[in-house]
Amino acid sequence: MSFPYQTGNPVVDILLREKLGLAKEIAAEVSLVLPKSCGIDDFDLCVLFANALDNAIAACRSNDGAKVVRVSGKQQGDFYMLAFENTCSDELLPPTGTGLSNIKAVAEKYHGAVLAEKTEDSFIGMFC
């Protein structure tokens, strides 16, 4: 098995490989190293990453132009900030669905927050 993404967490590595591997038409950029003990349960990491990636991939596929997903993360003091950015169409965002609700629930469980911003051709979701 090859792991094109090495985050320091094997569960996240497998999830990234599976999700992004199925979306071959989408360019993926991953710049992420998770701390050994990030304090987030592997199940909750899967909920966060799976929902964010599913949303990003769906948005890219609905876009006629460039199709790019960027995942990054960095530690700032006691907080770890994750960012998911993807290209998308210039249409309005659909109402908050189950995926974003699941992401918010995980963030709140760990006393974190979610910030989402849409520009004309991209969407950025940040979680800390």
- Token couple for 1: 């098995």
- Residue 3 has a pLDDT of 65
The per-residue pLDDT for range 91-124, each reduced to its tens digit, is 766 656 678 889 999 999 999 999 988 888 898 8
Asked whether the beta carbons of 95 and 111 are under 8 A apart, the reply is no
Asked whether the beta carbons of 53 and 69 are under 8 A apart, the reply is yes
The per-residue pLDDT for range 43-92, each reduced to its tens digit, is 999 999 999 999 999 999 988 889 999 999 988 887 889 999 999 988 76
- Residue 2 has a pLDDT of 64
Q: What is the pTM of this model?
A: 0.91
